[in-house]
Structure 1
Amino acid sequence: MTNPARTDASSAMRLWPLFLSLLVGSCTTPTPPSPTAPAPEGSPSLKVAEAAPDTAEKAKPDNTPIRQPKLVRTRIGGISIEAVTFDSRSHHLVVADQPGGPASRWADSRAAGQALGGIAAINGGFFNPDGSPLGKVVASGKTAGAENRASSLGSGYYVESPGGGMKLVRRQNYSGGRQALQAGPFLVENSKAVSGLSQRNSSARSFLATDGKSGWILARTGPSSLEGLGSALAGAKIGEIRVQSALNLDGGRSSDLWVSGSVASGPLQNRPLWNKPVRNFLVLSRRD
């Protein structure tokens, strides 16, 4: 028969190490948890934090209002300027060419503008004594002339792409368009006056300019040299449009600007009696 006292003592002896271990563990100072390691690069939480600002920027709507065509009379650098400012999102320039030569269809810019249903028009590019264009012309897909590679009078193009985008480009960058008119020289590029322009022959000028976005300017000036006009236009504002690029059109006795009464601050026709007929025009029209 087993002695109960001895059994209890033996059991107590076996349990003592367990009691001792529990006692020591409860008195040990707990180790503080290690700080959370930063999320590794590329983790989902980091991507969300980094992408938020970019996403917000891309989602920002373009609230720039469309500018309605307006006649602006101003003076910059001592040069008088009459200009039509417009927005290429609502209006565009159509090339009006006369295959039969100057005045074979239209006597002046008003006749050309009204015939094409436009609201303004200006003389276009240069032409030879025989009436042929001095440079390439594309009028609603119909091409005339050949590219002028020999002089600064053909250093640039006004181009409207098949998709409707409008731009001024150097002749070496021209790749075609549904409307195109070669002229020159460039007066302003990247908001800076082009160097090497002539300081002689102060005369009436015609030019086309843009802010590099949707703002455009169609203008005729009082007497000035090409160098003087380029210097005056560089970075200047005409109406609400700041000039980033400007291309010279045929000038002198060819300068001829017409603006209809439907344009704010219009109408206007500035074509002196001594002006001569021209080969082509740029007509400002509302987009379909």
Structure 2
Amino acid sequence: MARFLIIAPALLLAACSPLRTEMAVQDVATTGEIPVPPPTESALATAPEPAPQSRPPAPTPWEPHYFETRLNGIAIEAVAFDSRSHHLKVADQPQGPGTRWPDSRSAGKGSLAAINASFFTPEGQPLGMIVTAGQPHGAINRASSLGSGFYVEENSGKLRLIRRDQFDHAKEAIQAGPFLVENRRAVRGLSQESSAARSFLAHDNAGHWILARTGPCSLAELAQALAGARLGPVKIHQALNLDGGRSSEIWVSSAIQGGPAFTRPFWNKPVRNFLTLQPR
């Protein structure tokens, strides 16, 4: 009897052991995975955290440069700049055109470039709103297409071209118009008459800007030439007309790649204000 009791457990162990092995083999065959016990709390506590994903570095702002080109037969001389490193400031003459600076070269002294800016009345008063260093001058022109838009530098430092009904306040601003290009499309209804020199501002909606003077053309011709075109390194997304004709002039410092340059025909007249390109 005692011998039977000793043998019985051994027989039971021998009988159960193959069954467990068989079940494990079946599990692997069914799932393709070997069962792994769940990690303990201590293992979870000491598990390394996943490494944070690194972001690619932002592109370095490129330096301003001057170039000359032609679009649809229109001669254009322009300065391209990156708004992350440079911006445009308003140089206004409260006493009237020519009372402080006779031309863009004088107005641009100490800057990198300068171009004539907004319209003015025969008496020399601004035909629209101007803001210099946060101080407003004049009043919003709500009646004319010559005041349909604004160049603004917001208090945050961002540069924008906006419609006049969007204007609230700004660090720097000039009112001008009409818009030539919006959303890469030429604005409709622009005049096809009066071929004259033009000045304009444009950007690609990604922080890259153009200030430029053209040879003689109509507003409609200039809009068609600029719409969606690549002007130097900038693909035009939006463009705003500045004062033109006998007011249109541009000066570029020798400190800019491609400079110096100064275009001001002898028949030009003094203007009320300028936009000057400066480092931030």
| Residue 52 of structure 2 corresponds to residue 61 of structure 1 | no
In structure 2, the residue matched to 1:121 is 114
State the secondary structure of the residue aligned to 2:27: coil
Q: Which of 228, 251, 257 is 2:244 aligned to?
A: 251
| Residue 62 of structure 2 corresponds to residue 70 of structure 1 | no
| Residue 174 of structure 2 corresponds to residue 181 of structure 1 | yes
| Residue 229 of structure 2 corresponds to residue 236 of structure 1 | yes
Q: Which of 232, 256, 259 is 1:263 aligned to?
A: 256
State the secondary structure of the residue aligned to 1:33: helix
State the secondary structure of the residue aligned to 1:230: helix
Q: Which of 69, 78, 83 is 1:83 aligned to?
A: 78
In structure 1, the residue matched to 2:272 is 279
1: CA distance, partners of 2:18 / 2:227: 83
In structure 2, the residue matched to 1:24 is 15
1:83-162 aligned at under 5 Å gives the runs 83-114=78-109, 117-162=110-155
In structure 2, the residue matched to 1:170 is 163
When the two chains are superposed, the root-mean-square deviation of aligned CA atoms in Å is 2.5
Structure 1 residue 94 displacement after superposition: 1.2
Relative distance call for 1:15 and 1:255 in structure 2 (3 A) is same
Relative distance call for 1:187 and 1:18 in structure 2 (3 A) is same
State the secondary structure of the residue aligned to 1:111: helix
2: CA distance, partners of 1:233 / 1:14: 103
2: CA distance, partners of 1:249 / 1:150: 17
| Amino acid aligned to 2:22 | P
Structure 1 residue 193 displacement after superposition: 2.1
Residue ranges of structure 2 left out of the alignment (5+ in a row): 36-43
State the secondary structure of the residue aligned to 1:66: coil
Residue ranges of structure 1 left out of the alignment (5+ in a row): 1-9, 38-43
2: CA distance, partners of 1:279 / 1:110: 14
| Amino acid aligned to 1:233 | L
State the secondary structure of the residue aligned to 2:115: strand
2: CA distance, partners of 1:18 / 1:263: 97
- State, as a whole percentage, how many aligned pairs show the same letter: 53
2: CA distance, partners of 1:25 / 1:92: 84
State the secondary structure of the residue aligned to 2:165: helix
| Amino acid aligned to 2:214 | T
* Farther-moved stretch of structure 1 (134-143 vs 262-271): 262-271
| Amino acid aligned to 1:126 | F
1: CA distance, partners of 2:145 / 2:217: 18
Deviations 1:203-252 (Å, cap 9, x if unpaired)?
21100112223322110001112222112112222222222221110111
Structure 1 residue 276 displacement after superposition: 2.0
Q: Which has the larger radius of gyration?
A: 1
| Residue 208 of structure 2 corresponds to residue 215 of structure 1 | yes
| Amino acid aligned to 1:181 | I
1: CA distance, partners of 2:17 / 2:261: 99
Deviations 1:10-51 (Å, cap 9, x if unpaired)?
2244456544433432443611336469xxxxxx9xxx89x9
| Amino acid aligned to 1:33 | D
Q: TM-score, normalised by structure 1?
A: 0.81
Deviations 1:101-158 (Å, cap 9, x if unpaired)?
22222222122112xx222211111112222111110012221111122232222211
